[in-house]
Copies of this chain bind each other. A is one copy, B any other.
């Protein structure tokens, strides 16, 4: 097996807490609220009184990893960090499940990571030449090796130096004997927030929904380039760099984050609703009903319905048990297998002109299938509104977006796409419409949003990825400014 250094650091969720007697259980609740950010594996590490760490981790959902009701109780200790991990095919198994714990003769460290380093391969090779070896494929271990090699008198100073060496998107939690650190990359590609419980205890999480889940109030977003230090005295804001410029991932608003989370003050549900309103305004349609693809596109569908002035109906039913099915249908039954996830509601769509709303189109196969499902159920027309612009460029900052050649919009015009998926019409939200609908209003390009998926303007150089980067076919003359290193954050 070739080492795929980069395959494992995709979209994830992190949670940390300092000094609460229910540390492990609260981390469990926090991670549970973040489960949508990763279902491949989960883990919790607690800090013991003697400075040693205890860990439980495993493959699968949080509920699988902690299915023994006593497993949480065994994780005693007053501080903890936890991690849920997104499933990717190239994973090597349990050794990559975070948090990672690093044992030394006289102390332990634990680390959890959401994001993707763009210079990890280069750094890893350099570290191995210097005597390091790796137990996992994760960027977490790269950072740990870097920290230990910085010539600085304290761990904190080593950490600050090491954070200046890594590139890309990252949101790290680091638990030590003395404190809990949270570090965010200079572009703030990934979300991370600080909360406080009624008893004064501070927590850090990927999304605000995890704060709500444990009854903590929102304190502030972690900002680009910050290193937050939480200890018994409260929290302190350090900076490992001042050269920062916000470009948070627009896919968090479009698809990833939970609707009840807010990022930089913007509620995700309402942002999606506005995306729906905007795409409907940009594309006037004459239809009978609006149907959103459950569950992700339902907020946008309410916005569409409001603008179009027609009913928002539940024309598609999602089987809530389909996530955990391992049975693969044989070739001849594949179509039936797909029906396990979605069903069209004939009584609702029969004889209707349907406006189908989805959040995005990646490969297009699902769209084609859904449109077919609606037509089989008797829909006379299916017009598709996508509440985001066409996805043409891959992500290198922590989201496992398909390769360029597999992105439908990187290889086809909108007209070709419409034909391919069998829609009567197909419309996307404009890039400006997206930026307006999110409404971050930050003093930064695209109001602080990374929209590289849509226009290829990567906010940073791509480092290790420059070589394998491929421009979309439909944009063969696309000038990849970032790749050439002309811009930097």
* Most chain B beta-carbon contacts within 10 A, residue among A29, A133, A312: A133
For A343, the closest partner residue in chain B by CB is: B260
Q: Does A319 have its Cβ within 8 Å of any Cβ on chain B?
A: yes
**In the complex, chain A residues 293-340 whose Cβ is within 8 Å of any chain B Cβ:** 295, 298-299, 302, 306, 311-314, 317, 319-330, 332-333, 335-337, 339-340
Q: Answer yes or no: A403 CB below 8 A from chain B CBs.
A: no
Inter-chain contact B5/A344, CB cutoff 8 Å: no
Q: Is A246 on the interface with B (CB-CB < 8 A)?
A: no
Quick check: which of A120-128, A168-176, A472-480 contacts chain B, the rest being far away?
A: A120-128
CA distance A215 to B343 in the complex (A): 11
Task: Indicate if the CB atoms of B340 and A33 lie closer than 8 Å.
Answer: yes
CB <8 Å contact, A69 and B326:
yes
Interface string of A242-285 (1 = CB under 8 A from B): 00000000000000001110100001011000000000000000
Q: With A22-B330, A63-B325, A336-B215 in contact, is A3–B267 under 8 Å at CB? A: no
Assess the B121–A333 pair: CB atoms within 8 A. Answer: no
| A430 CB-CB contact with B under 8 Å | no
- Say yes or no: A336-B50 contact (C-beta < 8 A), given A35-B321, A105-B121, A260-B345: no
Task: Say yes or no for A145: interface residue by CB 8 A criterion.
Answer: yes
Say if the beta carbon of A67 comes within 8 Å of chain B: yes
- List which A41-74 residues lie within 8 A (CB) of chain B: 48, 50, 52, 54, 61-64, 66-69, 71-72
CB of A209 within 8 Å of the partner chain: yes
Q: A441 on the interface (CB 8 Å rule)?
A: no
Q: Give chain B residues whose Cβ lies under 8 Å from the Cβ of A29.
A: 329, 333, 336-337, 339-340
Chain B residue contacts of A322, Cβ below 8 A:
32
A213→B341 CA distance, assembly (Å): 9
A465 contacts partner chain B, Cβ-Cβ < 8 Å: no
Assembly CA distance A171 to B157 (angstroms)? 41
Measured CB to CB, the closest approach of chain B to A442, in angstroms, equals 18
Interface digits, A330-364 against B, CB 8 Å rule (1 contact, 0 not)? Answer: 10110111011001111110000000000000000
Chain B residue at minimum C-beta to C-beta distance from A313: B302
Question: Which residues of chain B have C-beta atoms less than 8 A from A302's C-beta?
Answer: 311-314
Q: Which residues of B contact A137 (CB under 8 A)?
A: 103
Q: A131 touches which one: B135, B149, B215 (CB < 8 A)?
A: B149
A322 and B317 CA atoms in complex are apart in Å by 19
10 closest residue pairs by CB, A with B: A267-B347, A131-B148, A35-B321, A63-B324, A1-B52, A260-B317, A135-B135, A102-B133, A63-B325, A260-B345
14 A/B residue pairs, CB under 8 Å, sorted by A: A1-B50, A63-B321, A69-B328, A103-B137, A131-B149, A209-B317, A213-B336, A213-B343, A215-B339, A259-B345, A260-B345, A295-B320, A299-B314, A302-B312
